[in-house]
Amino acid sequence: MTAATLDGVAERRIALLGNPNCGKTALFNLLTGSRQKVANYAGVTVERKEGAATSPAGTRYRVLDLPGAYSLNADSADEAVTRDVILGRLDGEPLPQVLVCVTDATNLRLNLRLVLEVKRLGLPMVLALNMSDLAKRRGIEIDVARLSELLGVPVVPTVGIHRQGADPLLAALDALSYKPSVPALEWQPPTLAEITETHRQVREILLQTVREPAVDTRWDERIDAVVMHPIAGLAILASVLFLMFQAVFAWAELPMTAIETAVSWLGQTVSQALPDGLLRSLLVDGVIAGIGSVLIFLPQIVILFAFILALEDSGYLPRAAFLLDRFMGKVGLSGRSFIPLLSSFACAIPGIMATRVISNWRDRLSTILIAPLMTCSARLPVYALLIGAFVPKQQVAGLFNLQGLVLFVLYLAGIVGAVLVAFVLKRTVGRGMHHPLMMELPTWRLPNLRNLLLGLLERVKIFLHRVGGIILALMIIVWALSTFPAPPPGATGAAIDYSFAGMLGHFIQPLFAPIGFGWEICIALIPGMAAREVAVAALGTVYSLQAGDDVATQLAPLIANQWSLATALSLLAWYVYAPQCLSTLAVVKRETQSWRYPLLMAGYLFAMAYLASFLTYQIALRMGAG
C-alpha cells in the first residue's frame, strides 16, 4: 500500500487497536490533538475517528482509532468493524500499514490475548505499553526487552496523558520499514484448542516478563468494596447524581449572570444603533432574543458534561454498571445498558449509538427505545427557564438548593418512566432471559485535566455549532413567520396575532388546551422538534415581538407573569417524555434499519407526554395553581 497524502505530503497509515479501557483514546488524542475527523464507517453505524500526527523526526502519520475489542472473534458491531478493518474486508477502508496494539500495562494478562491474535495476521505491529507510569507506581516491573523478544515486535512504554508520553511510540514507528499494500487477510474463528494455546502462551509470557509486587499495594479492591457494595454503593451513586444536579444550578449562577449581562448589553446596543424597522427587529427580536435565550444556559451544560466526563475517566461508570446490573436485569435491561443510558443524559444520539456494544439484540433494542427518556442536555434550557421562573431560590433544610431539587425530580421522573417502559418491553419485544454483564473493570485513577478540558471543549463546540447553525436558522424562520403578514390598518391587539405563526398557533391551540398550553407555547413546540432547546429561543422571539422589547434576558420573569403555575408544571411534564427531537428518531431508524421502531418510539413517547401533562395540569388546577 502506498502512503496516503495530505496537502501533497506523504503520510504513513497506522491504526490503534486494543481492549476497552486501555487508554487507547487518550493516546489517540495525544497523538492527533485537534487534528481529528469523526464520521461513520461506510455501510455501518459505527463511529470512525481519524487524525493526523507528526513525529519529532518530521514523519507524518494518518492515525485511525479503531473501536475497542477484546478479541477478533467479534461479539459486537464495534468488534466486527475492528476485525474487518485490520483484515482489509471493509469496503472503502484500506488496510493499515502498521498496527499499534495498545495495552494496559497494569493488566497485561487480559490484553495479551488480543495481541497474540493480531500478531498471527503477520502485519507490521508495535506494542504500546500504555499507563506504564501507573504500572511503575504500583510496583509492577515489565522486562520490555524480553517481551519484545518473545513477541517478535517492537515494544515501547507510553503514557497517554503526558505531553511527551507518545514520543517512544513515534520513534518506534519511524524506525519501521513500510512495505507496499497486501491483499485482504484470511482469518477463521479460533478453535477451542487454539484458545487454550493462546491462554498458555499468555501465562508463559507473563511468567518471563512481568513481576508483580509481593504485597498488593493497590487501593482498587478497597475502594471497590465500598462503591460496589449493594447498599452503600447505591447510596454513593445516588449521592453523586444528586450532587451533579445541585451543581448544575448552584455553580452556574455566576457565569450565567455574566452571559445574561453581555446579551442584554448587545441587544440594547444594536437597538440603539439601528433605526426602527425590519432589520432591527430581525437582529434584536429574532437573532439576539432567540440565540441569547439559549446561550445563557451554556454554563449549566458545561457543568453537566464535566461531571459525566470526570466519572468516565475515573473508572467509576463501569462499576456503576455492575452495581445496577441485577436491578436492570429485572426490568429487562443489561448492566451494559447503563453507559449508553448515562451517555443519553448528554444527548440521546450518542447514547443510542453506544448501544452497539450490547451484543444481544433484544437488550440493545430495549435500550434504544428508552434512551430518549433520559433527560438530555437539550432539555436543560427548558427546565432551567421554567424552574428559574416559577421555583423560588431558597434552601431546603439549610443544605439543598430547591431549584436543584426540582431538577433532580425531573431527571428522576425520566428514569422512572424508562424503568416502566423497559418493564413493558421485557414482556413484549424484549422477551428473553437476562444476560449477566461481563466486563473488565478499569483501574481507579484521578481524571486527567487535559482530557477533561478537551472533552468539554468538544461539547462546547457542538453546542455553539447548534446555536450558530440550527438554532440561528430556525430563529430567522420563526421571526419571519411571526412578523409577516403585517396587521391590517386599524387592527387591534399584538401584531404577531395576525402573522402566519400567530394563525398557526391559534389553529392548533385547541388540541393542547386540555394540558394548559397557550398559542405561544404551541408555536415554540413546532421548531422545537428540530432541537429541544430551540423552544426556548422560539419563546424568546415570540415574546420579543409580542412585547415590542428585548426579552432575551427577561424571558423568565415575563412568562412568570403571564403563565399559570399549572401551565409551567404541565410543560415540564411534557418535556420529560415528549420526543421533541427529529434527529433522535432518524438515528433510531439508522441503527435499527427499520421505520417500525422510531414510529413506535414517537407514538409511545407522545402518548406518555400528553397523559403526563394532562394529569399534571388538571391536578395542579384542582390544587389552586391555576
C-alpha–C-alpha distance, residues 26 and 37, integer Å: 15
For range 426-445, the mean pLDDT? 67
Q: Are strands 141-142 and 210-211 parallel, antiparallel or unpaired?
A: antiparallel
The answer to whether 500 touches 481, Cβ cutoff 8 Å, is: yes
- Of all helices (H) and strands (E), which one includes residue 99? strand 98-104
Q: Are strands 4-6 and 9-18 parallel, antiparallel or unpaired?
A: antiparallel
The answer to whether 187 touches 72, Cβ cutoff 8 Å, is: yes
For range 10-31, the mean pLDDT? 88
For the chain, percent of residues with pLDDT exceeding 70: 90
Helix (H/G/I), strand (E/B), else coil: 242: helix
Q: Does domain 4-211 have CATH number 3.40.50.300?
A: yes
**Cell numbers that stand for 461 in this block:** 463546540
360-408 pLDDT tens trace: 778 888 899 999 998 887 888 889 889 988 888 888 777 778 888 888 8
269-327 pLDDT tens trace: 998 999 988 898 888 887 887 787 778 878 887 887 888 888 888 888 878 878 887 77
Q: Which residue has the higher pLDDT, 220 or 562?
A: 562
Q: Is the pLDDT of residue 557 over 70?
A: yes
Counted residue by residue, the chain has a size of 626
Q: Domains of the chain: which residue ranges? A: 4-211
What pLDDT score does 1 carry? 37
The letter for the amino acid at 65 is D
418 closest CA partner among 534, 327, 349: 327
Task: Say if residue 561 is exposed, middle or buried (CB neighbours under 10 Å; 0-12, 13-18, 19+).
Answer: exposed
C-alpha–C-alpha distance, residues 69 and 21, integer Å: 10
What pLDDT score does 324 carry? 80
What are the distances in angstroms from CA 339 to CA 315, 345, 352, 353? 12, 10, 10, 11
**Cell numbers that stand for 9 in this block:** 505530503
Query: What count of Cα atoms within 13 Å lies in the side-chain half-sphere of residue 221?
Result: 3
- The CA-CA-CA angle for residues 429, 579, 624, to 5°, reads 115
Whole-model pTM? 0.66
- Of all helices (H) and strands (E), which one includes residue 562? helix 555-562
What are the distances in angstroms from CA 524 to CA 121, 164, 290, 313? 57, 50, 11, 38
What pLDDT score does 206 carry? 93
C-alpha–C-alpha distance, residues 436 and 19, integer Å: 20
C-alpha–C-alpha distance, residues 77 and 21, integer Å: 17
Helix (H/G/I), strand (E/B), else coil: 127: strand
C-alpha–C-alpha distance, residues 156 and 149, integer Å: 12
309 closest CA partner among 369, 244, 383, 253: 244
The answer to whether 78 touches 69, Cβ cutoff 8 Å, is: yes
C-alpha–C-alpha distance, residues 235 and 294, integer Å: 34
**Arithmetic mean of pLDDT over the chain:** 83
Weakest-pLDDT range from 232-241, 287-296, 488-497: 488-497
